[in-house]
Amino acid sequence: MIIILIGAPACGKGTQAELLKEKYALRHISTGDLLRAEISKNTPLGEDIAKLINNGNLVPDDMILGLLNNALKMKGKGIVLDGFPRTLTQAKLLRGIVKDQGEKIRAVVNFTLAEEEVVQRIIYRRQCRHCGNIFSVRFVKNFDGHCPKCDSTDIYQRADDTETSARHRLEIYKKETEPVKEFFKEKTYYMQTDGNRPVQEIFKDISSFIERK
Ligand code: ADP
How does pLDDT run across 89-148, given as a tens digit for each residue? Answer: 999 999 998 998 888 999 999 999 999 999 999 999 999 999 999 999 999 999 999 999
Alpha carbon nearest to ligand 1 atom 2, residue: 9
Residue 167, amino acid: R
**Do 173 and 9 meet the contact criterion of CB atoms below 8 Å apart?**
yes
CA dihedral over 172, 178, 180, 183, signed as positive or negative: negative
Q: How many whole angstroms separate alpha carbon 176 and alpha carbon 132?
A: 29
**Do 44 and 121 meet the contact criterion of CB atoms below 8 Å apart?**
no
3-state secondary structure of 109: strand
Nearest to 73 by CA among 119, 29, 125, 137: 29
Q: Which ligand 1 atom lies nearest to the CA of residue 172?
A: 14
> Would the pLDDT of 82 be above 90?
yes
Answer whether the bond into residue 85 is a cis peptide, omega within 30°: yes
159 backbone dihedrals φ, ψ, rounded to 5°:
-60, -25
List pLDDT tens digits, range 36-57: 999 999 999 999 999 999 999 9
This prediction's pTM? 0.92
> Would the pLDDT of 73 be above 90?
no
Catalytic residue numbers? 13, 86, 125, 158, 169
Q: How many whole angstroms separate alpha carbon 21 and alpha carbon 3?
A: 10
Show the ligand 1 pocket: residues with CB < 6 angstroms.
9-10, 13, 31-32, 35, 52-53, 56-59, 64, 83-84, 86, 90, 160, 169
Alpha carbon nearest to ligand 1 atom 12, residue: 32
Q: Return the pLDDT at 67.
A: 87
List pLDDT tens digits, range 7-36: 999 999 999 999 999 999 999 999 999 999
State the average pLDDT for the chain: 94
